[in-house]
Structure 1
Amino acid sequence: MDYEKFIFCLEAVPDTEINTTTETLENLEQLAFEQGIDSIYKTCDTIEGLEESLNTLLYDDHNFKNYEIIYLIMQGESNNICLNGYYYSLEEIAEIFEGRMKGKILHFANAKVLDLTEEEAQYFLDITGAKAISGYGDAYSNITSSNLDKAFFSLFEDEDDIIEIVEELHQKHYTLCKLLDFRLYY
């Protein structure tokens, strides 16, 4: 690997003015400590906050090319996210970031189900330029996806081929992949 890879994590919270340490932040710190995978963690509570955070990453962070994974922890349903009680479709999100996610993988935690039709997934990938979008078909019930997310992220340190990464993830964590219904659209 010729450069270090990072994770950019954006978590939806009820109010960004209230500082709390979430399970996600603790898991990212653990990933950095145990596996040396660095990340930037931000919170948002509105669509404007989401857009501002990603724009800051795109335009102000000179290491943006090293952020291979955009990790999103947001409530929502099959093809939308919910921020502060408002729903936004992935098509709307795609249009906000038109052409600016080139080569990135957007990964949703199981705070929301990711259930896209082939056309919806292809539209999102075509508009944003993203390499892939991944998530889970089973929303959070009693199990968060955090452990599987960490395993998924760690595989990117040694491998670049998304298909091989997903195959290895299924080989190593088959039961959890099936239980949470891991999905990849590329």
Structure 2
Amino acid sequence: MEHEQFIFCLEAIPDVDSVHNTEVVKILEEIALQQDIASIYKACDTIEGLEESLNALLYDDHNFKDYEIIYLVMPGEANNIMLNDYYYSIEEIAEIFEGKMKGKVIHFSNDKILDLSEEESQYFLDVTGARAISGYGREIREIPSYRTLDRAYFSLYQENDDLMEVVEELFKKHYDLCKLLDFRLYY
């Protein structure tokens, strides 16, 4: 691999002014120390905050090309995220990311279900320019993916940028967990 790949994590929290270190921040720090995968973390509590964080990365960070994975830790329902008690559809998210995700992998934690039809996934990929979108078909609060499967996924992707091989290896090494959380990749 030519260069390291980094993670840009956006986490939805109730109030950005009152929370400092979430469990996701601690997990990302562990990933950096134990797996040598660097990341940038931003918390957001509104759709405007999500857009501002994304735009800051896009236009102010000259290393944006190195951020291969856009990691979204956001609650919601199937194909929706929730920010500030308001739901945003996958189509609305695609429009926010419009043309900005060329070559990126957009990965959702299992805080929300990702269950896209072929048309929905193709629309998202076409509008955003993303290489792929991944997530889970099951939301199991007792088994947050950021503690388990996401770490393995990021590590495997750090070693190999062929997504098909990464997912195949993920299923080989963590089959039961992949099936339990219903890991999905749309490309």
- Which letter does structure 1 place at the counterpart of 2:7? I
Q: Give the alignment of 1:79-158 within 5 angstroms.
A: 79-146=79-146, 147-158=148-159
Count of aligned pairs? 186
Cα distance in 1 for partners of 2:144, 2:61 equals 30
Contact 1:37 1:154 (8 Å CA) reproduced: yes
Match of 1:71 in 2: 71
Unaligned runs of 5+ in 1: none
SS of corresponding position for 2:76 = strand
Quote how far apart the aligned CAs of 1:29 are. Answer: 0.5
Cα distance in 2 for partners of 1:111, 1:79 equals 11
Cα distance in 1 for partners of 2:138, 2:43 equals 23
Match of 1:178 in 2: 179
> Please, what TM-score do these two structures have when normalized by structure 1?
0.98
For 1:111-131, what per-residue CA distance to the aligned partner results, in whole angstroms no more than 9, with x for missing partners? 001111111011000000000
Cα distance in 2 for partners of 1:179, 1:111 equals 14
> Please, what TM-score do these two structures have when normalized by structure 2?
0.97
Match of 1:166 in 2: 167
- Report the more deviating stretch, 168-177 or 90-99: 90-99
Quote how far apart the aligned CAs of 1:98 are. Answer: 1.1
Cα distance in 1 for partners of 2:140, 2:46 equals 22
Percentage of identical aligned residues? 68
For 1:127-176, what per-residue CA distance to the aligned partner results, in whole angstroms no more than 9, with x for missing partners? 00000000001113321112100000001121011111000000000010
Quote how far apart the aligned CAs of 1:20 are. Answer: 2.9
Unaligned runs of 5+ in 2: none
Contact 1:105 1:134 (8 Å CA) reproduced: yes
